[in-house]
Amino acid sequence: MDKRNLQVCMTPALFDLYADKKSIVVVVDVLRATSSMCIAFEQGVEKMIPVSTVEEALEYRNNGLDYILAAERNGAPVKSFDFGNSPQVYIDMDVQGRTVVMTTTNGTKSISIAKKEHDVAIGSLLNLDAIAKWLIVQNRDVIIFCAGWKDKFNLEDTLFAGALAQQLVESGLYDGSCDAVQASQVLWEQAKDDVYGFLENSSHRKRLAKLDIDSDVHFCLKVNQTTKIPVLKDGFLVSVNE
Amino acid sequence: MDKRNLQVCMTPALFDLYADKKSIVVVVDVLRATSSMCIAFEQGVEKMIPVSTVEEALEYRNNGLDYILAAERNGAPVKSFDFGNSPQVYIDMDVQGRTVVMTTTNGTKSISIAKKEHDVAIGSLLNLDAIAKWLIVQNRDVIIFCAGWKDKFNLEDTLFAGALAQQLVESGLYDGSCDAVQASQVLWEQAKDDVYGFLENSSHRKRLAKLDIDSDVHFCLKVNQTTKIPVLKDGFLVSVNE
């Protein structure tokens, strides 16, 4: 039997090169958009609406809908929004049954790009094992799509790509010969015992350090805190379980 | 003293994000364009003219100039050209004092992109130590520019980037915090003891395997076979020594 195709796309600027209209695209923005999405569903959020712009998000408020509005730009919360991009706010607040409209610098932009022609699922270290098992059951080609930082390569999303790719390749069902798949697996292998330490000098860690959100970083780097898998259906993220 | 900026650009599709108009850009296409360039100068070639298209290269012949024409597309030599993209042809043939016009799938395209606004030097594993020492003396910011494969990430160019970045960072003069600099160094650290084995499953190795040029691959992966550093001056590549 031919193996399923597996690709890692390291930044949104490269997505057109990997797009094939048939793969499931796993969007990852470890720090912090997709981590927040995974934990939001774990905490009882019913659906999320990822939008590209702050203006689009504000329209939901202007229409009088009882939605939580979450927005981040350049790592910081956007003024007048309910939430920023911190995953921990979903633990501190009661979000049971709520709908969240979210826009972030890189994560929701990547979802917008992917959803045009592909089915989309949301990955983070928080739901690593769950999404790996779920993908294997789907029996489809997969593109792991790193949100990066403003179209540049970043380490933390690539580490997640390596962690997920490793499980898919080890299942024996996926062809792991894509160069970016191989590179990301080597990086994960070196990082996995101390991901926080491995990222200590990364550009985004430094960027976030200025924002004093170190506890968010620790939070986002813990593997397997939820079995929820956010998937996009009709423009909404809803949760499936593996 | 502030450290010099060091960046790794993993594919031509990302170059605009890293371009700063002031860095020296080290173009690398390990398999095989920049390896061929380095060894060509080692073997006595006087100058090389990198061009983007087969048509541009052919104009030099049509103008009756006594130049060697070298062209490769998709890994194979182009019909009616003197040379393809094999570095070993420069050892087998007498090229002393000759001028070579060269066009390749990825390497010369990357040179064309870089030269618009930057000074360009040519790197490969064959001149690794030499170009590292030369760069340190130049005391300028550096972008290591991987030619990749048709705008996708590839492993072998990233390994060279890591090898070169390691020497620059270890000099203490360069800031190594760019995420792509860190990733490429980790990859090189894992690969350096057996680069050929590390690349065994890489996409480009497989692509080249079909072309039966395994001896070229072995040739290109040997470090430090020359101290020549090709640099671009007035549209020509000429050689400087470190």
Q: Is the pLDDT reported for residue A4 higher than 80?
A: yes
Task: Count the helix, strand and coil residues of chain A and give each as a percent rounded to the nearest 5.
Answer: 40, 25, 35
Pairing state of beta strands A76-77 and A68-73?
antiparallel
Is A153 within 8 Å of B178 (Cβ atoms)?
Answer: no
Taking only residues 152 to 211 of chain B, the set having a beta carbon closer than 8 angstroms to any beta carbon of chain A reads 152-155, 158, 176-180, 182-183, 186-187, 190, 201-204, 206
Contact A178 B14 (CB under 8 A): no
Distance CA A209, CA A218 (A): 12
Q: Which two tokens stand for residue A99?
A: 């709908």
Cα Rg, chain B, nearest whole Å: 17
Q: Would you tell me how many other CB atoms lie within 10 Å of the CB of residue B214?
A: 12
Amino acid, single-letter form, for residue B146: C
The predicted pLDDT at position A24 comes to: 98
Contact A152 B186 (CB under 8 A): no
CATH superfamily of B4-232: ComB-like (3.90.1560.10)
Query: In the structure, what pLDDT confidence band is assigned to residue B93 with cuts at 50, 70 and 90?
Result: very high
The CA angle A38-A43-A45, to the nearest 5 degrees, is: 80
Q: Is the pLDDT reported for residue A152 higher than 90?
A: yes
Q: Which two tokens stand for residue A208?
A: 């976030």
Give the start-end residues of each E strand in chain A.
Answer: 4-9, 24-28, 47-50, 68-73, 76-77, 99-103, 119-123, 142-146, 174-175, 228-233, 236-241
Over residues B183-189, the mean pLDDT reads 98
Domain boundaries along the sequence of chain A: 4-38+105-233
Over residues A63-67, the mean pLDDT reads 84
The predicted pLDDT at position B143 comes to: 98
Instruction: Pick the residue of A152, A155, A169, A188 with the most B CBs within 10 A to test the interface with B by mutation.
Output: A152
- Distance of alpha carbon A232 from the chain centroid: 12
Contact A176 B201 (CB under 8 A): yes
Per-residue burial over A149-161, b = 16 or more CB atoms within 10 Å of its CB, e = otherwise: bebbbbbbbbbbb
The predicted pLDDT at position A214 comes to: 86
Contact A154 B179 (CB under 8 A): yes
| % of chain B with per-residue pLDDT over 90 | 83
Contact A10 B10 (CB under 8 A): yes
* pLDDT tens digits, B38-88: 999 999 999 999 999 999 999 998 887 789 999 988 888 898 899 999 999
Instruction: Pick the residue of A17, A31, A153 with the most B CBs within 10 A to test the interface with B by mutation.
Output: A153
Burial (CB count within 10 angstroms: exposed 0-12, middle 13-18, buried 19+), residue B216: buried
H or E stretch at B7:
strand B4-9
For residues B106 and B143, the model is more confident at: B143
Closest by alpha carbon to B30, among B216, B237, B239, B238? B216
Shortest Cα distance, chain A CAs vs residue B17, angstroms: 7
H or E stretch at B166:
helix B155-170
Shortest Cα distance, chain A CAs vs residue B204, angstroms: 8
Closest by alpha carbon to B52, among B113, B124, B7? B113
Q: Which two tokens stand for residue A7?
A: 């690709």
The predicted pLDDT at position A204 comes to: 67
Is B50 within 8 Å of B111 (Cβ atoms)?
Answer: yes
Helix axes B33-42, B107-115, angle to 10 degrees: 80
Closest by alpha carbon to B169, among B2, B6, B19? B6
Per-residue burial over A5-34, b = 16 or more CB atoms within 10 Å of its CB, e = otherwise: bbbbbbbbbbbebbbeeebbbbbbbbbbbb
3-state class (DSSP) for residue A30: coil
Burial (CB count within 10 angstroms: exposed 0-12, middle 13-18, buried 19+), residue A240: middle
Which residues on B lie below 8 Å from A152 (Cβ)? 14, 17-18, 179-180
Helix axes B155-170, B128-138, angle to 10 degrees: 50
Contact A13 B10 (CB under 8 A): no
Q: What are phi and psi of B66, to 5 degrees?
A: -85, 60
Walk across the sheet containing A99-103 and list its strands: A76-77, A68-73, A99-103, A47-50, A236-241, A228-233, A119-123, A24-28, A142-146, A4-9, A174-175
Q: Is the pLDDT reported for residue B205 higher than 80?
A: no
pTM: 0.95
Which residues on B lie below 8 Å from A186 (Cβ)? 186-187, 190
CB-nearest to A206 from B14, B177, B206 is B177
ipTM > 0.90, yes or no: yes
CB-nearest to A17 from B151, B182, B203 is B151
The predicted pLDDT at position A229 comes to: 98
The predicted pLDDT at position B242 comes to: 66
* pLDDT tens digits, B132-152: 999 999 999 999 999 999 999
CA distances to A174, B179, B195 from B190, rounded to whole Å, are 23, 17, 9
Record: fold of A4-38+105-233: putative 2-phosphosulfolactate phosphatase (3.90.1560)
Which residues on B lie below 8 Å from A203 (Cβ)? 177-179
The predicted pLDDT at position B214 comes to: 86
Closest by alpha carbon to B40, among B220, B196, B205? B220
The predicted pLDDT at position A242 comes to: 66
DSSP B77: E
Query: In the structure, what pLDDT confidence band is assigned to residue B204 with cuts at 50, 70 and 90?
Result: low
3-state class (DSSP) for residue B173: coil
Q: Would you tell me how many other CB atoms lie within 10 Å of the CB of residue A114?
A: 25
